[in-house]
Amino acid sequence: MSENTPLWAPTEGQVASSSMTKFRDFCAIRNAVELPGHDAFHQWSIDSRGPFWSAVWDFCQVRGEKGGRDLVNGDVMLDARFFPDARLNFAENLLVKHGPEDALIFRGEDKVSYRWSWDQLHSTVSKLQQAFRALGIGKGDRISAMMPNMPETIACMLAASSIGAIWSSCSPDFGEQGVLDRFGQIEPKLFITCDAYWYNGKLQDVSHKVRSVAPMLGCPVMVVGYAGDAEVLAASLADGRTMDAITSPFIAKPVEYEPLPFVHPLYILFSSGTTGVPKCIVHSAGGTLLQHLKEHRFHCGVGDGDRLFYFTTCGWMMWNWLVSGLASGATLCLFDGSPFAPSGNVLWDYAAEERFAIFGTSAKYIDAVRKGGIEPLWTHDLSELRLITSTGSPLAPEGFSFVYEGIKPDVQLASISGGTDVVSCFVLGNPVRPVWKGEIQGPGLGLAVDVWDDEGLPVRGEKGELVCTRAFPSMPVGFWNDPDGTKYRAAYFERFDNVWCHGDFAEWTEHDGLIIHGRSDATLNPGGVRIGTAEIYNQVEQLKEVTEAICIGQEWENDVRVVLFVRLTPGLKLGADLEKRIKAKIRTGASPRHVPAKVIQVADIPRTKSGKIVELAVREVVHGRPVKNKEALANPEALELYAGLQTLGV
């Protein structure tokens, strides 16, 4: 396919029938404005944010009292308040359906499989709600969970939010210190954990970890049965009971919903924490709900009964994003475990059997499928699949091509980017615009996204900082234990006055799409020229011999030089010929400035629990500086491979 031809473009019928177009028409009529196309619509959504977000509320039929004001102090990002008079409950807006239809479908690799109806979800939430209240949990109290991505986890979150408690979760593969670094900061009233979980076909026991962590948290523990013996684990704890024991005294009844302010805290999410103790980022119920409704309904076209899947753990904000799909009446398809157990087809089997409409995953997964020779196009019926979303790291152009050549030629591919900081996306898919190779389709509605240079000036055709110049509802309420907002301001507003600086290195394209070149704090500066790490990965990972790569800027002879570490196909060794081809590929595919000074083979590459490679941690180790929070890593032992390289003169 020609580089001047999009990989996918919607038909006129698809554009006309899309929720994006219907919502644009709704806003035009309601506000008596001309919105002839998407660009005009997006500009209006920025210029008229109060009326825009009010329209989102009404079009999506948010349950609650909206109040008379939609936005106050809108020109000052840190003082802006959306819907200051509103009262709503997050759980009420997710538990929108009743009946025997599937609400949640679950698979734990090939070991466990079951599904819950909407009625069962309501029943379980009701019993948990009553149990939580009996434990003395109420508005503003924290409930923390170390859980797999399973129906019980969602029910616990909904029960917590129904009474105004604040939910915070991580996955059960976190180490003891990683759990304490997160939950120890927020002093939970209840700690929820599984008894064990499955990963890569093996039973992973967490009982020792739970017995070690629980006394440090100093709160009751609820053990959810999954892969082990919940009763034995609960009995071994000073204040532990199983979920069945805690809920058995209660009879299901209609769930009660506490009406709360728009900014009432809903979630505490955590930064990756690889350079220090994780930041506790507090997100509001109203902001999260409106932002997710907008993204699901209009950008993703999620509708009633759609099968919505995202491969995620409970320690990644995409879990929070996925769960909100209930508010659109979707059936959530949950998976926990390795996406390659028992084989690389496990998720595609799931997608075909359950007729996924939306398949969400990471760029790393798409690349692993491509390199593993897996081509669902020829092996699976994906006729219902209309949208694939990818995030976690920039999706390489070859990943775009593979989706259309090896998965489905008529699917919309939406590379999306945002993060824990906003529990949503800044830039994402758009059903009324074409998909171009290597590009994110555009910014989200209501978000004044731009790319600025170091002087704070907008730039086109060159790389710069991804910023958002006007307030939006899903900005954090703040950070936990940051009473005067010092840490919050420092994280996003120190670079540019009254402008959110997200920390991504980005670039506008000629199609008004965007390319994310990696984190700006991980950009390379050889000779004073800023280079995005993703630009190097996009080239080197095309080579079949290279499984994965990570590069850093190493301080060297009063400058910075690029050092590239590569993990090769098992059995291969980096020789002079392969190193030469790696450098040539980067030189011709990117530029001579991108060519690394050194290419070094490593056995493993450190990554976070959500699969993101950690360039900053590697950079610190190479320079002999300590990495403050190795517990944030899925494979902290990998960092040892990079120690001592500075003194060795690598």
C-alpha atoms less than 13 angstroms from C-alpha of 164 in its C-beta half-sphere: 14
pLDDT digits (tens, 9 = 90+) for 91-105: 999 999 999 999 999
18-27, 276-285, 630-639: which is most confident: 18-27
Query: Which tokens sit at 206?
Result: 């967490």
Q: 214, 238 in Cβ contact below 8 A?
A: yes
Residues 6+ apart with CB under 8 A from 621: 627, 639, 642, 643
Domain membership of residue 584 (yes or no) is: yes
Phi, psi of 278 (to 5 degrees): -60, 140
Q: What pLDDT is recorded for position 250?
A: 98
For residue 276, name the pLDDT band (cuts at 50, 70, 90): low
pLDDT above 90 (res 507): yes
Find the helix packing angle between 533-540 and 576-589, rounded to 10°: 120
Share of the chain above pLDDT 70, in %: 97
pLDDT at 630: 77
SS3 track for 239-297 = CEEEHHHHHCCCCCCCCCCCCEECCCEEEEEECCCCCCCCCEEEEEHHHHHHHHHHHHH
How much is the pLDDT for 275? Answer: 56
More confident residue, 157 or 569: 157
Given the structure tokens 């790319």, which residue do they identify? 451
- The whole-number pLDDT of residue 433 equals 98
308 — pLDDT class (breaks 50, 70, 90): very high
In the predicted model, is pLDDT for residue 552 greater than 70? yes
Residue 412's pLDDT is what? 98
pLDDT at 114 over 60: yes
Which of 429, 451, 304, 348 shows the shortest CA–CA distance to 7?
A: 429
The pLDDT value recorded for residue 2 is: 53
Task: Examine the pLDDT at 159 and tell me if it is beyond 70.
Answer: yes
Cα→Cα distances 609→234, 246, 322, 433, Å: 26, 30, 18, 33
pLDDT for 444 equals 98
614 in a domain, yes or no? yes
Q: Once rounded to an integer, what is the mean pLDDT over residues 626-646?
A: 79
User: For the ranges 386-390, 463-467, 534-538, which has the lowest average pLDDT?
Assistant: 534-538
Question: Which CATH number fits the domain that encloses residue 552?
Answer: 3.30.300.30
Rounded to whole angstroms, the Cα distance separating 233 from 210 reads 8
Residue 263 lies in a domain: no
d(CA 166, CA 374): 41
Please tell me the distance from the alpha carbon of residue 189 to that of residue 191, in angstroms, as a whole number.
7
pLDDT mean over 499-519: 93
For 421, residues 6+ apart whose C-beta sits below 8 A from its C-beta are: 271, 281, 476, 491, 492, 502
What's the mean pLDDT in 581-605? Answer: 87
CA distance 471 to 362: 28
The mean pLDDT of 135-158, rounded to a whole number, is: 98
pLDDT for the residue numbered 624: 82
**Per-residue model confidence (pLDDT) at position 557:** 74
Residue 578 lies in a domain: yes
Sign of torsion, CA 643 647 648 650? positive
Residue 15: pLDDT over 60: yes
Enclosing H/E stretch for 367: helix 363-371
Question: Average pLDDT, stretch 578-605?
Answer: 88
Distance CA 402, CA 47 (A): 38
Q: Based on the number of CB atoms within 10 Å of its own CB, is 572 exposed (0-12), middle (13-18) or buried (19 or more)? A: middle
Compute the distance between CA of residue 417 and CA of residue 518 in angstroms, rounded to an integer: 11
Q: Please indicate, yes or no, if residue 140 is contained in any of the structural domains.
A: no
| Cβ 199 vs Cβ 171: under 8 Å | no
Beta-carbon neighbour count of residue 526 at 10 Å? 19
DSSP-based three-state secondary structure for 65: strand
- Identify whether the C-beta of residue 620 lies closer than 8 Å to the C-beta of residue 275: yes
Q: How many domains does the chain have?
A: 1
Query: For residue 279, is it within any domain?
Result: no
CA dihedral 629, 630, 632, 635 (to 10 degrees): 170
pLDDT for 80 equals 98
Q: Per-residue b/e over 163-177, b at no fewer than 16 CB within 10 Å?
A: bbbbbbbbbbbbbee
What sign has the CA pseudo-torsion 521, 524, 525, 530?
negative
Q: What pLDDT, on the 0 to 100 scale, is given for residue 527?
A: 65
Q: Which domain holds residue 542?
A: 523-642
Residue 277: pLDDT over 80: no
pLDDT recorded at residue 273: 59
Q: Mean per-residue pLDDT for 239-260?
A: 98
Any residues with CB less than 8 A from the CB of 638 and at least 6 apart, and which?
602, 603, 604, 605, 606
One-character DSSP codes across 517-568: EEEGGG-B-GGG--B-HHHHHHHHTTSTTEEEEEEEEEEETTEEEEEEEEEE
Both tokens assigned to 515? 């390319």
Asked whether residue 601 is assigned to any structural domain, the reply reads yes
295 and 345 Cβ atoms separated by less than 8 Å? no
Write down the residue that tokens 């070859």 correspond to.
398
Residue 642 banded pLDDT, cuts 50, 70, 90: confident
Report the largest interatomic distance among the alpha carbons of the chain, rounded to a whole angstrom: 71
Spatial separation of the C-alpha atoms in residues 190 and 285, rounded to whole Å: 20
pLDDT tens per residue across span 412-439: 999 999 999 999 999 999 999 999 999 9
Position 450 pLDDT exceeds 80 = yes
Q: How many CB atoms lie within 10 A of CB 422?
A: 26
Spatial contact of 276 and 490, defined as CB atoms under 8 Å apart: no
Determine, yes or no, domain membership for 423: no
Rounded mean pLDDT, 496-516 = 95
Over 60: is that where the pLDDT of 355 sits? yes
Nearest-angstrom CA–CA distance, 61 and 289:
12
Which of the two residues, 633 and 306, has the higher pLDDT score? 306
What is the band of 152 on the pLDDT scale with cuts at 50, 70, 90? Answer: very high
Tell me the mean pLDDT in the region 444-459. Answer: 96
